[in-house]
Chains A and B, each alone.
Chain A
Amino acid sequence: MDFLGQFWNNVALGFSVAGTPFNLLLCFVGVFLGTLIGVLPGIGPMTGVALLIPLTFSLQPSAAIILMAGIYYGAMYGGSTTSILVNTPGESSSVVTCLDGYQMAKKGRAGPALAAAAIGSFVAGTFATLMLMLFGPWVAGIALNFGPPEFFSLMVAGLTVVTSLAGRSLVKALFATLFGLAIATMGIDNQSAVPRFTFGNPELLDGLEFLVVAIGLFALCEVFVNLADMKEAVQERLSIKGSLWLTKEDWKRFVPSCIRGTLSGFFVGGIAGAGAAVASFVSYGLEKKASKYRDELGSGAIEGVTGPESANNAAAGGALIHLLCLGIPGSGTTAIMLGALLMIGLQPGPLLFTQQPAFVWGLIASMYIGNVMLLVLNLPLVGMWVKLLDVPLYLLLMFITMFSFLGVYTMNNSVQDLYLMVGFGVIGYLMKRLDIPASPVILGIVLGKLMEEKMRQSLVISDGSVMIFLNRPISLFLLFLAVVAITNPYWKPIGRAIRRLFRGAPAR
């Protein structure tokens, strides 16, 4: 079969899966809940997806991922609304949107700002989905030839690249990753049936459920963090005046920045594997350099909204390429989704594309549908979303607590999990206070078991020699990437030291 024929077959298959009334409804519920989460300050996409995973337990795998992807997209989307109207980003990837979005709203141009964000996100999301359709099978095809050593190196590279972008201090971020790997070693070892770190506790034989850790580290941690600044004053809220629609002049400025944002976001998220927050910052930087109106940035330029908003959605879509084709999450949120898929019993990775085409293409089709729904849902309902901010913080905190308990309990009907979750909530707060990023922990937990398995398989192949990771070109390249990712903050000081060394050396 030729490439194009196969392509159309896949697309048709996808829409036939996603187009069933039930799945359409789930997609709608997903983007709705996602937007709600994105709008509410304090609940980011990670917390939101983690909290809502228990909802998917009773669903078919394809229905579950459609719901999750809807939540993921909706949350990326919803964050921009509050950035523009209230100057409060709903999540980290729309922090940049505040800079110009709020200024635009102050000038009475909230409508066009919201429209620009929505349309930019739509274009970028659609582009990323298209790229996933075109290149996904190709990337998966390459990865199909990977042996255990390549996979091990790929995971090392994935973990280090994401970790190196995860926080202020590389040492802390790396420690967090290893902490995650350490948690993943708890439970019965798959290959030798030896219990590890179970402390004689039968419930720990299966290891720590990642959701217990994720909900503790994100959701309960949010409760503690928010309690600290409960008495904050209510922010000034801007209403939408005038037309929602963009003027001709706006369109002229919108198009180039949207293209720049989409491409840079897709590059950052889909190729470099970094998260949506990084993408939005990169895009804002790019606008500052490339835009014709760069002097207006910061005082309400439409480019400052379009660029970052397109970029973060393109990156969110790009991150799904990593997740689906390679099984490597590119961000905390996709790590949580990976964990959820593993719980359902699906192993994302190159085999998924060939073995479960209905699942993969159904998801892709639902991403299109979700994008359209978001566009339709968001602009007219903006007033309702903003009203959500009237929910008092203390009630919100009680709801987060309640849903955390509900979700974790329904997973295993275990009270011990509840205590562990509270424990991780406290750990999460302490980590936040010490500025240790939490998302690497989740990445470590989710990838830990598989990473260990691949490492041991590789060493069986090579009869115990570690050279197997260096002898294979792809594996070597991936490990090289990992080294670059870890060492890059130190290049400058090292370079300086070397220069100093040579300058100090006596000339002969």
Chain B
Amino acid sequence: MKEKREERIASVVLIVFSATYLAGAFYIPMPVFKQQLGPGAFPIATGIGMLSLACIYAWQQFRGGAKVNEENEEVEKRAVIIGAEEKIEKKADLKAMGFMLAAMLFYAFAFERLGYAISTFVVFMAGVLYLDRRHLVRDAVIAVISSFVLYYIFSIFLRVNLPAGPLKFLEF
């Protein structure tokens, strides 16, 4: 089962992460003066807790059989009582997500280099072109407002410093 495999991989990842964190916690240097409880104690306790939970999680995922199904029913019943959020659709549109992730990374990269206004406009338009290009004119107007106009509103009225980038000469 695919879902099962996903959770199994996740449990291994969590074990590795917890173990790394725990190992890191042991390497926290002792302070110069001695204390009742050094800076490493709390992280070590947290790390041990995480590692044991990750192991329990892995154990839950790797043991099979009918018992699990019975347990899942109990879990679902509980979920209804406490109003847990619905599980999300597993069929994700990986291509769209990859695009969005790339756009966000570019946005972070360009935020200071190109300035807020230009980078926002570019990312906004890229998103629009990729996701839905039926209302280009309207969306372009919105993009201009949320990039250039918003930049001036923020920097003039709210006195929030946003990076200007190459548009520095337009600053007041």
Contacts and interface: CB of A to CB of B under 8 A. Distances in A.
A210 interface: no
A185 B42 contact: yes
Contacts of B28: 194, 196
Say whether chain B's binding surface is mostly helix, strand, loop, or mixed: helix
Interface string B120-132: 1001100110011
B162 A165 contact: no
B96 A228 contact: yes
A171 B131 contact: no
Nearest to A92: B85
B83 A277 contact: yes
Interface string B85-121: 1011111110011001101110111011000100010
A228 B97 contact: yes
Contacts of B120: 402, 405
Contacts of B158: 58
A245 interface: no
A422 B81 contact: no
B162 A409 contact: yes
A182 B46 contact: yes
B104 A230 contact: no
B35 to A, nearest CB: 6
A278 to B, nearest CB: 5
A422 B97 contact: no
A193 to B, nearest CB: 7
B83 A280 contact: yes
A141 to B, nearest CB: 30
B166 interface: no
A374 B131 CA distance: 35
B43 interface: yes
Interface in B117-158: 120, 123-124, 127-128, 131-132, 135, 139, 142, 146, 154, 158
Contact of B88 (A172, A421, A433): A433
Contact of B14 (A93, A175, A456): A175
A483 B158 CA distance: 48
B75 interface: yes
A489 interface: yes
Interface in A169-216: 169, 171-172, 174-175, 178-179, 181-182, 185, 189, 191-194, 196-197
A402 B36 CA distance: 47
A265 interface: no
B36 A456 contact: yes
A401 B101 CA distance: 11
Contacts of A171: 53, 56-57, 60
Interface in B39-53: 39-43, 46-47, 49-50, 53
Nearest to B71: A493
A413 interface: yes
Given A175-B50, A228-B88, A278-B82, A399 B35 contact: no
A223 B93 contact: no
Contacts of B154: 406
Interface string B152-171: 00100011111100000000
A418 B97 contact: no
Nearest to A492: B74
Interface of B: 6-7, 10, 14, 21, 24-25, 28-31, 35-43, 46-47, 49-50, 53-54, 56-57, 60, 74-76, 78-85, 87-93, 96-97, 100-101, 103-105, 107-109, 111-112, 116, 120, 123-124, 127-128, 131-132, 135, 139, 142, 146, 154, 158-163
List 8 tightest A-B contacts by C-beta distance, closest first: A192-B31, A418-B108, A394-B131, A189-B39, A281-B83, A277-B83, A228-B92, A452-B42
18 contacts: A58-B159, A92-B85, A167-B85, A168-B75, A182-B50, A189-B39, A192-B35, A220-B104, A230-B96, A281-B80, A394-B128, A394-B131, A397-B127, A401-B107, A421-B108, A456-B42, A459-B36, A460-B37
Interface of A: 58, 92-93, 95-96, 165-169, 171-172, 174-175, 178-179, 181-182, 185, 189, 191-194, 196-197, 220, 223-225, 227-230, 274, 277-278, 280-281, 285, 392, 394-395, 397-399, 401-402, 405-406, 409-410, 413, 415, 418-419, 421-422, 425-426, 429-430, 432-435, 437, 452, 455-456, 459-460, 463-464, 489, 492
